[in-house]
Amino acid sequence: MHRAGNTITDGHQDVQELWREAGSFDSSIRGCCFYHSQDVDTVVHTGRLLLAFSGGMIPEAEQREANTRNVALRILELLRASGFVAEWDGDIHSRIEVELGQWRKRSPFA
């Protein structure tokens, strides 16, 4: 999700809202990935984008941590297959970092 709120908490809330609209546990959604508006500000200045993710969209509570790890690994796989340099330390509470280089998209607030 692009620019999901202003903070990581906002982002998780926005994703949860979309997930509920999709039918929650009855949907096929297994995870999510997003960045928020502060992340956009950071990438403009540093060229590095932090991506948040979650695999908590499955009904089985005991499997959520493993699912979250799988979601992160899938995101990394897709990013790398698309030619991006992406790193993650393996901690489900940390974020994926993607090297984008110089940001060229103009902010709507500029």
Most confident listed range (28-42, 44-58, 72-86): 72-86
Is 60 contained in some domain? yes
User: How many structural domains does the chain have?
Assistant: 1
Residue-wise pLDDT tens digits, 68-86: 999 999 999 999 999 999 9
Is 76 contained in some domain? yes
Helices (H), the chain: 8-21, 37-46, 64-81
Q: What are phi and psi of 56, to 5 degrees?
A: -80, 15
Is 65 contained in some domain? yes
Q: 108 falls in which pLDDT band (50, 70, 90)?
A: low
Cβ neighbours of residue 63 closer than 8 Å, sequence gap 6 or more:
none
**How high is the pLDDT of residue 18?**
81
Is 104 contained in some domain? no
Give the domain range for residue 41. 8-99
6 neighbors 37 (Cβ within 8 angstroms): yes
Is 19 contained in some domain? yes
**How high is the pLDDT of residue 27?**
61
Please state whether the predicted TM-score (pTM) of the whole model is above 0.85.
no
Is 22 contained in some domain? yes
Is 109 contained in some domain? no
